Amino acid sequence: MKIAKDDLRSLKGVGPSVEDKLNNLDIFIQTDLLFHLPSRYEDRTSIKKIGALEADIEAQVEGEILLSSMVFRGRRMLMVQISDGTGIMTLRFFTFNKYQKDALKKGLTIRCFGKTRKATSGIEMIHPNYEILDPSKKNHLPNTLTPVYPTTQGLAQGKLRSLISQALNNRLDNIQDLLPKKITSELGLGSLKQALKETHQPKKESLDLETLSPAKKRLVTEELIANQIGMRQIKRASKNQSAIALNKTAIKQQLISNLPFELTESQKKVEGEICSDLSLAQPMMRLLQGDVGSGKTVVAAMAMSIAFDSGFQSVLMAPTELLAEQHKQNLDQWFEPLGIKTGLLKSKLKAPEKRALTERIASGDCQIIIGTHALFQESIEYKNLSLVVVDEQHRFGVEQRFSLINKAKNNGIVPHQLIMTATPIPRTLAMTAYGDLDNSIISELPSGRGEISTLCTSEDKRKEVVEKAQREIEKGRQVYWVCPLIEESEDHNRESAEATFKKLSHDLPNHRIGLVHGKLSADKKNKAMSDFKEHKLDLLVATTVIEVGVDVPNASMMVIENTERLGLSQLHQLRGRIGRGEHKSFCIMLYKNPLGDTAKDRLEVIRSSRDGFYISEKDLELRGPGEILGIRQKGVVGLKIADISRDAYLIPKINKVCDQFENDFPEESEKLVKRWIGNQINYRNV
C-alpha cells in the first residue's frame, strides 16, 4: 500500500505562500489539517424557493440573472437580481473586482448561499457565496454539511476547505488512535477516525451544535485531556526553571505615593502576592482576575517598576494596538516622573524608527516595552527580559503559554508571567481552564465610581432610547452605541453597524457621531477611538471592538443591541466601559421580542448585578441545552472545540483518566499533547 506523504507541499494548490498562511494557523503537516476543526456549518444540501424565503436565515437558492448593474448609493456597489420563477431576490456586493462584475451576466444561472435580509424591495443577500452553473452539466448538491473553518487573512475559505478535504483523503486512514481502549470504553467514546470524519463532513442531522454528538464528544475529550496534561507539564516545568529574583521596591513606593488615588484593599493584596512571587528565582505564573475597571493596569505597573528597579526589562502585551497605545499613555503618566522610559512597538513604525527602537530594546535603554503579540513574533532581541505581562488576551490558552515560555526564554532564564483578564471564570471551572496558574483576584472596584442603572427593553422603544442619548449628550456626556458581532461574517456586521450609524446620524443631526468596526484600517479605528476619547465625538457606534480596555470616563451611557444573543459575561464586559467617571451612567440593553424564559432570566441576572463572578456562575447555570449562544467562553482558555462551560460535566471523569493515562501511557500522552496543543513544542524545539 502506498502511503501518501504528510507534508503540506504534496497537496494540490500549496506553494510557499499558502504554506506560510497555513503555518500562521499552526498547521505544519497534513495531519494538522485534520485537527483544524470547523467553527460552524452551512447547510447547502438543498435549494430553497425564492418565493418562500424568510428574512434572517441562511439559505441556498438558484436563479437566473435578470439584471446586473453598478449603482451608487452613498458608495459604489454591484447589484444583481435573480429569479427562479417563484420570486425575485437582490444580491448586493460592496467589494468586487472587474472579473466578478463581468462574469455575472444577464441570462446565466447562479447558485448562491448567504444570509437573507428584508429590504424595502424584498428579500436580499449581502455578499453571498455564489457559483455560476454550467447548464450542460448536472450540478450536484453536497450530501453533507459544508464546514466553515477559522482562517487567516489571504487564505480563502474555499481553498482551506479543499486542502482539508484532500488531507482527509490522504491521511485519515493512517490516523493513530492515541487513547487506549481502556480509556475510550470507560468514557464511552467512539473511534477518532469516525469522529474526525463526522466533524469535517457531518450529515445534516448534526447541525445542532449545542448538543454533544458522539463525534464531538470524542474530540472534546481528547482536547480536554491534552489540555490537562499540558497544564501539568507547564506547572512541573516552571518549578524547575529559573527566573530572575526581583526584589527592589523603592521605586514602586514612589510610584504609589505619586498616584492621585488610594489603592483599594484588593489591589494591595494582589500586589503583595505578585511581589512575593517576583522575589523568587522561579518564574511567576500568575493569573490576575479583576472586573473591568477594577484597576489591574496600575498593579501591572507596580510589578514592572520592581523589575525596572532591579535593572531588568518588562514587556506588556495587549490584544490590540489601540489598547497598547492607551497603555503607553497611562504608563507614561506614572513612569515619566520616575525617569522610566517606555517604548511602544507598533506595526506601523517607519523603518528608521523601528530600527532605533529595536536598538534601544537590545541595549537596555528601553526598559518597558509595550505592544501586541508582535513583541514575540518579530526578531526583537531583549537585553534582559525578566517579566511579561499579558493583558486581556482573547485567546491565551496552554498553547500560547507554552509558546511564550519558549520564545521569551533566554540562556535558560524564563521571565515571570502575569496574565490579566477581566473575564471572570466560574470558580467551578477554574482548575480546568488554568490549573497551571496561581490565581489572584481583585474583588472590588475603586470607590467614587458612578452608579450604573441597567435597563432591558425591547427594540420597539428605540425612539425613547435615542431621546435619552440626546439628553445625555446635551449634558456634556458621551454615548456608546454597540452593535455586537453576532456572526462570523465581518461584512454583515459592518453592514449592521453602518446602518445604525446612518440612522443615528439622521436622528441626531446636531451631534458628532463616529463609527468603529473590525473592518476599518487600524489607523481609522485609532482615529475614531481617540476622537471619542478626546470628546471630539459625542456618540460612538461600535461593534465589540470596544469590548476590552478602553477607558473614557466621560461616557455615561451605552446602548447594546441584540442583547439576547450575547453571553452574559460579554455583556458585563461591554457595560464595564461606562460608569468609569463620577457621573451616573445608564446601560440600555435592547432585545428582540419575543424573549424565551431563559433569555428573560439571563437578562434579569445582568440587570440586577455588577459582580462579574456572580454573573459568570449564573451564565453557566442558565445555559440550558438548546440555548444557542454562539459565543465561546473567551479569555485565557483558548480551546479549539471544547467549551468548558458546555462540557463541564465531563471534567471530573477526565481528570481521573489523566493520571492513569500519563502514568501508563507516557508516550501516547506526550503525543496527544503535541497533537492538540503542541505545534509550538513540536516545531520550535523546546
Positions that interact with ligand ADP (CB under 6 A): 261-264, 267, 290, 292-298, 422, 446, 551
Closer to ligand ADP at the Cβ: 411 or 447?
447
Question: Interface mask (CB under 5 A) for Mg ion, residues 502-541, using x and -?
Answer: ----------------------------------------
Among the listed residues 33, 30, 27, the one whose alpha carbon sits nearest the alpha carbon of residue 6: 30
- When CB distances are held under 5 to 8 angstroms depending on the partner's kind, the choice from ligand ADP, Mg ion, none that residue 581 binds is none
Binding site partner of 25, from Mg ion, ligand ADP, none, Cβ cut-off 5-8 A by kind: none
- How would you classify the pairing of strands 122-126 and 109-119? antiparallel
| Residue 418 interacting partner from Mg ion, ligand ADP, none (CB closer than 5 to 8 Å by kind) | none
Task: Give the shortest CB-462-to-ligand ADP separation in angstroms.
Answer: 30
Q: Which residue, among 537, 570, 566, 532, has the nearest Cα to 551 in the 3D structure? A: 532
Residue closer to Mg ion, measured from CB, 549 or 567: 549
Choosing among ligand ADP, Mg ion, none, which partner's interface includes residue 680 (Cβ < 5 to 8 Å by kind)?
Answer: none
Q: Indicate the residue among 292 and 681 with the shorter CB distance to Mg ion.
A: 292
Q: 243 or 292: whose CB is closer to ligand ADP?
A: 292
| 290 contact, one of ligand ADP, Mg ion, none, CB 5-8 Å limit per kind | ligand ADP
Cell 489591574 found at: 296
Closest approach of ligand ADP to the CB of residue 133, in Å: 53
**Cα distance between residue 144 and residue 147, in whole Å:** 9
User: How many C-beta atoms surround the C-beta of residue 520 within 10 A?
Assistant: 17
Q: Which residue is nearest to ligand ADP (CB)?
A: 295
Pick 221 or 266: Cβ nearer ligand ADP: 266
Q: How many residues bind Mg ion (CB under 5 A)?
A: 1
Q: Where are the alpha helices (DSSP H) in 336-438?
A: 351-363, 374-377, 398-408, 427-434
Q: Report the residue number, 514 or 549, with the smaller CB distance to Mg ion.
A: 549
295 binds Mg ion (CB under 5 A): no
**DSSP letter string, 114-153:** EEEEEETTEEEEES-EEEE--TTS--PPPSSPEEE----T
Nearest approach, Cβ of residue 294 and ligand ADP (Å):
4
- As a whole number of angstroms, the distance between CA 481 and CA 501 comes to 9
Which of ligand ADP, Mg ion, none is residue 221 near (CB under 5 to 8 Å by kind)?
A: none
Q: How far apart are CA 80 and CA 130, in angstroms?
A: 12
In whole angstroms, how close is the CB of 346 to Mg ion at the nearest point?
19
Q: How many beta carbons lie within 10 A of that of residue 451, not counting itself?
A: 11
Interaction partner, residue 464 (Mg ion, ligand ADP, none; CB < 5-8 Å by kind): none
Residues with Cβ within 8 Å of residue 410, at least 6 apart in sequence: 382, 384, 385
User: Is cis: bond before 594, omega within 30 of 0?
Assistant: yes
Q: How many residues does the chain have?
A: 686
Nearer to ligand ADP (CB atom), residue 87 or residue 446: 446
From the list ligand ADP, Mg ion, none, partner contacted by residue 577 (C-beta under 5 to 8 A by kind)? none
Indicate the residue among 505 and 609 with the shorter CB distance to ligand ADP.
609
For the CB of residue 269, give the shortest distance to Mg ion in the complex, in Å: 18
Instruction: Give the residue nearest to Mg ion (CB).
Output: 549
DSSP three-state, residue 77: strand
* Residue 263 interacting partner from Mg ion, ligand ADP, none (CB closer than 5 to 8 Å by kind): ligand ADP
Q: What would you measure as the largest C-alpha separation in the chain, in angstroms?
A: 81
CB-wise, 403 or 570, nearer to ligand ADP? 570
From residue 221, alpha-carbon distances to 43, 225, 425, 672 in Å are 26, 6, 20, 11
Q: Which is nearer to ligand ADP, 242 or 333 (CB)?
A: 333
Which alpha helices (H) appear in 25-93, and where do they start and end?
Answer: 30-34
Residue 211, classed as helix, strand or coil, is: coil
Question: In sequence order, what are the residues at sequence separation of 6 or more whose Cβ sits closer than 8 angstroms to the Cβ of residue 660?
Answer: 183
Least distance from ligand ADP to the Cβ atom of residue 267, Å: 6
Q: How far is the CB of 332 from ligand ADP (least distance, A)?
A: 13
Q: How far is the CB of 584 from ligand ADP (least distance, A)?
A: 17
Binding at 446: pick from Mg ion, ligand ADP, none (beta carbon under 5-8 Å per type): ligand ADP
**Shortest distance in whole angstroms from residue 168 CB to ligand ADP:** 44
Which stretches within 310-389 are classed as H helix?
321-335, 351-363, 374-377
If binding is defined by CB under 5 A, does position 549 make contact with Mg ion?
Answer: yes
Closest distance between Mg ion and the C-beta of residue 87, in Å? 50
How many whole angstroms separate alpha carbon 139 and alpha carbon 130? 13
State which H helix or E strand residue 90 sits in: strand 88-93
Compute CA distances 114 → 49, 123, 124, whole Å. Answer: 14, 12, 9
Q: How far is the CB of 268 from ligand ADP (least distance, A)?
A: 9
User: Could you tell me which residues come within 8 angstroms of residue 165 by beta carbon, excluding any fewer than 6 positions away?
Assistant: 200
- Our CB check for Mg ion shows the closer of 83 and 443 to be 443
Q: Which residues bind Mg ion (CB under 5 A)?
A: 549
